[in-house]
Copies of this chain bind each other. A is one copy, B any other.
Amino acid sequence: MILAGGRGTRLWPLSRADKPKQFLPMHGEHSLFQRTVERHASIDGIGAPWVICGEGDRFQVEDALAGIGVIGATVVTEPVSRNTGPAIAAAAEALVRHDPEAVLFVLPSDHLVTPDEGYFESLHAAFAAAASGKMVTFGIVPTHPETGYGYIKAGESAGKVRRVESFVEKPPAEEAVKMLADGHYFWNAGFFAFSARALLDELASFAPEITAAAEAALDEATVGEGVIQLGERGFASAPDISIDYALFERTKNAVVAPLTCRWSDVGSWRAYWETLEKDSSGNAVRGKGLPVDSHNSLIVSNRADVVALGVEDLAIIAADDAILVCPLDRAQDVKQVVATLKTRKRNDLLDVSPTVSRPWGGYTSILNGSRFQVKHLFVTPGKRLSLQKHHHRAEHWVVVRGTAEVTIDGEVTTLSENQSIYLPLGAVHRLANPGRILLEVIEVQTGSYLGEDDIVRLQDEWGRT
């Protein structure tokens, strides 16, 4: 069960509300979410993944799964955000109605894990403990006195896992040094395993308001092929609380399964820099970056070439519409920058990434004028957009790659590369890619109001009418 509801605000400006860090290809071509799914796909006895995410992320979760050829997954959508406690409870409730014996392996979608030899063996030991009724948490064997993570203190062994003695909040530096030397402390990775039934029973005793909310959300849920949309009334009644606080800090059944793998929560630009390969001066470059006489710095840019001359310990992150420059040591404070931008109502820089994924493909905004807008649309082979119309804008489409099938007021036209068509204001239209290669279209919108919400969907394959 993969938790994909995080917002990753500390990785602004790449991470946006509509495309948080777990969906970004931050290491290689696949996103952290996809890598998380792939890492565990071939474990003996594991089922198709369940994914918990916000309602708005459903399509990009489905797209991401399709992109790595995963079938049979179940997506559970949260109508509002209530932290991991209620999310896991609701998903466990759904699962247990399906399979009362189910054992859940819960993990975040936005961590980078490099499995070592013992990784899968440790997982199996943890699953066995979970099947026997233990609440299993996973602890990373620490490699340095990190002050940015919470710790788990382990007690005596119980087979291959150890009893949890206590949870320790992010420690001050001297404390972290002592804990590293002590040898019984592990980083709290936020991975868990438990029997779904046992989890719900324990939760019902510690926090009955959570299990009640989960049951109500399930009773009201809209269930479709591979998707469970939790009911809003029930789910919203749950408290906003993490599974750590709701359960693990209270139960007597908690055990910790140590993991020796390389792990990062990719929780800041500094943490990201640590996960990347560096040049001989300690610089990590992702995309178009040229460090000149610079050291221990991070450059991330997809579009513009970034020249960093004579800088040290600096992060330079360039998105199309926003650029962040800050010392790596200040990376935690990006959260405050995001808060400041929110106060200043700069939602344009927070909510929407310039490139937007849709179930049929997606688009990039390339120019915003006062009464016009230019977009670069991508339509996946075989997919089509909803049948739609706009009240305030007309559109011009120029096909620059592939073949388009365009329907306007019932009339179907096929356009090939270099052909264009006009969609008058109010015309009922649809764009489809009947071909075998990606369709690329330049869309020029004109009108007095160009918001994304001026769209009347008359027919849609994804239930968005």
Interface residues, chain A, CB within 8 Å of chain B?
13, 290, 292-293, 301, 303-311, 314, 316, 318-327, 329-330, 333-334, 336-337, 340-341, 346, 349, 366-367, 369, 371-372, 374, 376, 394, 396, 398, 400-401, 417-418, 420, 422, 440, 442, 444, 446-447
Contacts and interface: CB of A to CB of B under 8 A. Distances in A.
Given A319-B304, A372-B401, A418-B446, A327 B349 contact: no
Contacts of A422: 420
Given A367-B366, A372-B442, A417-B446, A306 B325 contact: yes
Contact of A400 (B311, B319, B329, B371): B371
A305 B322 contact: yes
15 contacts: A292-B340, A303-B321, A304-B304, A304-B320, A305-B322, A306-B323, A307-B322, A307-B324, A307-B337, A310-B327, A311-B327, A318-B323, A369-B400, A369-B401, A371-B401
When all copies of this chain in the complex are counted, the total is 2
B376 A367 contact: yes
Given A309-B337, A374-B374, A440 B369 contact: yes
B442 A374 contact: yes
Contacts of A349: 305
A374 B329 CA distance: 40
Nearest to A299: B325
A446 to B, nearest CB: 4
Nearest to A336: B292
A318 B330 contact: no
Given A337-B292, A366-B367, A400-B371, A321 B304 contact: yes
Contacts of A309: 324-327, 330, 333-334, 337
Contact of A314 (B306, B325, B333, B417): B325
A290 B346 CA distance: 12
Chain A to chain B: the 3 pairs with minimum beta-carbon distance, closest first: A309-B326, A372-B400, A310-B330
A271 B374 CA distance: 38
A325 B304 contact: no
Contact of A326 (B310, B324, B327, B398): B310
A28 to B, nearest CB: 23
A336 to B, nearest CB: 8
A330 B293 CA distance: 10
Nearest to A305: B322
A333 B310 contact: yes
A305 B442 contact: no
A418 B394 contact: yes
A304 B323 contact: yes
A417 B446 CA distance: 8
A288 to B, nearest CB: 9
Given A376-B367, A400-B371, A444-B442, A311 B325 contact: yes
Given A372-B442, A400-B444, A323 B326 contact: no
